[in-house]
Amino acid sequence: MLLRICHTTRFEYQMPAYQSHNEARMKPLESAGQRCVEFELEITPATSAFEYDDYYRNRVHTFSIHSPHPALIVAARSLVERLPTARPEALPMAFSDFLLEDHARYQAEYDFLSPSRHVPFSDPMRKFFWLTRPDPAEDVAAYANRVVAFIRDQFGYEPGMTKVQSTADEILTVGAGVCQDFAHVTIGVLRLAGIPSRYVSGYLAPDSKRATKNIGTQASHAWVEAQLPGLGWTGFDPTNGCVVDERHISVAVGRDYSDVSPLHGVYRSHGGKEVMSVELQIAPQPDRPHQPDSTNNSNQQNQQ
């Protein structure tokens, strides 16, 4: 499946901004099941961008704008190919056996087994985990599926109930949130159970029978990956209560949202408000491309 993506973020300032410094994580990842065929980052006002890979191998574009500007527009245009991949065989394993290697696993996957900024091991999180704790005889992969289904049934999807800065505790308190919150609480439960888990940001493509999907302010989607016996890193979408499929387009991975924010930065101004708007278009493409991969340059502001 071939998909053309245009992700545009606009910041408008009541008073012109200046000395703006920003980071973007908007280039889709390369993996066995995904190929980024084209990528272009267009920045207005025009400026150059410096690229590097961060600790988790996400492609980062950094850029600065020093002159006064009434608006900042960042448009990420991608052409992504989702490829069919052979699914490895699961290795049935009871939790009692899985936890025998807990110490070695903690050493190897410390970042994805420990609490993080948006996934604290707080009292509310530990109490929620107690409701979903695994039985010693339960299969590890089956438990991960059970947790995803349970969380999807427990919470409502309601934009505006939480904020981009919210931790998993907030969805546990209000009982509703967005995909970011569903991912954070799922990661918290799985980590407390001893399963390495990481946050994935990206996009959810429309059904292939539809031409173009304008998702508007919903922008990025989020899900989780859990490291399971025999399967390795396996994607789950707790917002939709399903396993990740070819419609999920990965852009960045990390401990939680703070590691993968599509666009964030700082700027100076003489006061006033900042208004952010986002437009996301995903259009299935009929033909397989033949051109090589190419990358063109590309108060606090954050995009969810």
Q: How far apart are the first and last CA of the chain?
A: 26
Query: From 3.30.70.930, 1.10.1740.10, 3.10.620.30, 3.40.50.300, which CATH number describes the 95-206+218-259 domain?
Result: 3.10.620.30
Q: Looking at residues 115-140, what average pLDDT do you find? A: 96
Per CATH, 2-84+262-302 and 95-206+218-259 having the same topology is answered no
> Which pLDDT score is estimated for 302?
58
Q: Looking at residues 119-130, what average pLDDT do you find? A: 97
24-71 confidence digits (pLDDT tens): 999 999 998 999 999 999 999 999 999 999 999 999 999 999 999 999
> Which pLDDT score is estimated for 285?
86
Contact 140, 195 (CB under 8 A): yes
User: Where along the chain do its domains lie?
Assistant: 2-84+262-302, 95-206+218-259
Lowest mean pLDDT among 153-167, 240-254, 287-301: 287-301
> Which pLDDT score is estimated for 197?
98
Backbone angles phi, psi at 98, to 5 degrees: -60, -40
Contacts of 127 (CB under 8 A, 6+ apart): none
Contact 183, 191 (CB under 8 A): no
Q: Are strands 50-53 and 242-243 parallel, antiparallel or unpaired?
A: unpaired
Query: From 3.40.50.880, 1.10.3720.10, 2.20.25.90, 2.60.40.2250, which CATH number describes the 2-84+262-302 domain?
Result: 2.60.40.2250
> Which pLDDT score is estimated for 303?
59
Report the predicted TM-score, pTM, of the whole model to 2 decimal places. Answer: 0.89
230-287 confidence digits (pLDDT tens): 999 999 999 999 999 999 999 999 999 999 999 999 999 998 899 999 999 999 888 6
Q: Which residues of 120-130 are buried (b: 16+ CB within 10 A; e: fewer)?
A: beeebbeebbe
Distance CA 119, CA 174 (A): 16
Share of the chain above pLDDT 90, in %: 81
